A and B are shown apart, each in its own frame.
Chain A
Amino acid sequence: MIDQPLFTSLLLLPFLSAPLIYLLGRLSVRKGQDSGMKAARLLTLAALMAEIVLLVLTVKGAIGGGSVQILVGLEAMRFDGIGLILTGLVLVLGVCVTLFSIPYMNKEKGEEKFYALLMMTIGSIIGLGFSYDLFNLWIWFEAMAISTYFLVAFYNEQSASLEAGIKYLVQSSIGSALVLFGIAAIFATQGTVSLEDIWQYADQLGTLGALGMVLMIVGFGVKAALVPMHTWLPDAHSQAPSGISAMLSGVVIEAGLIAMLRVVSMTGKMNGNWAYILIIFALINILVGNLMALRQTEIKRMLAYSSLAHMGYMLFGFGIGFGFGSGTGAEGGFFHMLTHGLMKGLAFMSVGALLYVLKLVKGDHSSLKLDDLNGASRKYPLIAICLSVAVLALGGLPPFAGFMSKWMILVAGVETKNIWMLVAVGFVGLNSVLSLGYYAPIVNRLFKREQSEVVAAAYTRVSWMMSLPIMVLTLAVILIGVWPLLTDFILYNGQYFLLGYFFN
């Protein structure tokens, strides 16, 4: 059995601590002291640690009980494997990002807001993972979007980040309006928004219901950066503070994908094969993401475009799962979600550490060009090694985590024994090789090239609070790469709940 108080506090704690963090920081900033800000940072870390403990306890309670649907107040929330994967990922990355941001955001204007908003983002992603009716899903989704609008436009004196913020806001709110139209259409056919009921009556939804499904897939697709709706992503992810880029690329777009999967998993009894839509989107995403990343000159923009390609790999796995009933496909999708979160978080944080020591320390808010990375390994060997691990893992080289998850998805594709899927697998595999075309030169730049001017002029050391989370994530990427069974337990559960509902 699951403990309801534990689960409720898991959901509530971020929203209780966020205003406290803000108040603590704000009071001390107004008085010009630093003590309150220190307390606010500590409180953020402590609250995230407490969340991890709560999550572990809730999982222990849930083992053997399976999924349990509970009501928190009047909202239907359900603890299951899909939410568990998202929550685990967001908490691990959240702790790393908080620790990383302590030196990164130090003395920045509005630092207290940063931690409060980060906490709110994490809280709403946790809620989104566990929500179990359509409208509830939208509320958490919107809460997540609202808290990230602020974070993207955080440097509100830079016109570039304001531009990214307004682009993100406009496109994201069009997406959420489309989701709402979809929910209204579904509601108009059945008079309910509960996923369970809609799943049960899915064969009676008719044209209006199908229209609603399409609207919701497109709407959530804006946040998940499916290709025609992706134009906000490179701007937002490259202009946000680096810790936030790690969160945005590592979990926020994945949260959009999870919301979309919840919607698709209701269509089990509907006519038409929705999985093919996912697979087509996946292939377009992979191709466009890789081609656009190849021609970038700024490293954060390049990483942002490569997120598009990685969303494609995940969608491909889930598409195989839905279309052919392949457990391996869905499990591979979840596995890639997990490893991509760790790898992309690691990549953005290492780049952020370099950006900090090379530019931000001097008050220079311009972006880090690929040329600026040249020869950085002479002065910052540790960060250079970690960044190399991150990009090689993203490119899918064998000893690292990215290889394992891509391999799983491709194996699932081959196992379908469908000629078109084999062609698609070949296409995805070739694209993975193509992606090395922009990942590998980074390693070359870091280790082989002559030092660039910014590197030669740099004198700041990387603080241990920045390098500790980077090293932890590097270890995790290597460990999962050599021992992928480590994550099997939660991946299997996610796959079980996703496909179990779809096919029963």
Chain B
Amino acid sequence: MNLPIPFIVLLAVLSLAGTGFYCLLFTRNLIKVVVALQLIVKGVVLAFVLAGHLVQNESLAQTMAITVIVADTIVAVIGLALAVQIRLHTGSLDLKALSNLKR
């Protein structure tokens, strides 16, 4: 079987994003939620690289991909910091135990 490389990358993008969304739906552990968010954004980074390859504008695509990585790392750090605080104050990382605000 001889798949073209862009097609393989597209599959990788879709599977990364799909795994991320699946995890977000079914996990209740805060650390895993942050990991799921990271998976989705890794899919985004690959999507940018792929898009840059398709339109022959790799330099712009890579600039954007690197910026996304930086911004996303900050979000992950904040998410983990919140998780630490939540663990300190409620003694649990479970999102269900945390849901006290009513609808």
Contact = CB atoms under 8 A, between A and B. Distances in A.
Q: Is the interface of A mostly helix, strand, loop or mixed?
A: helix
B47 A181 contact: yes
Contacts of A239: 101
B40 A188 contact: no
B100 A159 contact: yes
Interface in B72-103: 74-75, 78-79, 82-83, 85-86, 89-90, 95, 98-101, 103
Contacts of B44: 177, 180-181, 184
A67 interface: no
A202 interface: no
Contacts of A177: 17, 37, 40-41, 44
B55 A188 contact: yes
Interface in B27-69: 30, 33, 37, 40-41, 43-44, 47-48, 50-52, 54-57, 60-61, 64, 67-68
A164 B17 CA distance: 25
Interface residues of B, number: 40
A180 B75 CA distance: 15
B55 A169 contact: no
B51 A135 contact: no
B24 interface: yes
Nearest to A135: B64
Contacts of B56: 191
Interface string A120-137: 000000000000000100
B49 to A, nearest CB: 9
A150 interface: yes
Nearest to B53: A188
B71 interface: yes
Nearest to B99: A163
B86 A166 contact: yes
B85 A174 contact: no
Nearest to A142: B71
Interface in A154-204: 156-157, 159-160, 162-166, 169-170, 173-174, 177, 180-181, 183-185, 187-193
Nearest 9 interchain pairs by C-beta: A191-B55, A188-B51, A184-B47, A180-B44, A187-B51, A191-B57, A177-B40, A184-B51, A142-B71
22 contacts: A146-B75, A149-B75, A149-B78, A150-B78, A153-B82, A156-B85, A160-B101, A165-B82, A166-B95, A166-B98, A169-B75, A170-B24, A170-B79, A173-B37, A173-B79, A177-B17, A180-B47, A187-B61, A187-B64, A188-B51, A231-B103, A235-B101
Given A149-B75, A193-B64, 7 more contacts: A135-B64, A146-B78, A162-B90, A169-B75, A177-B37, A183-B64, A188-B50
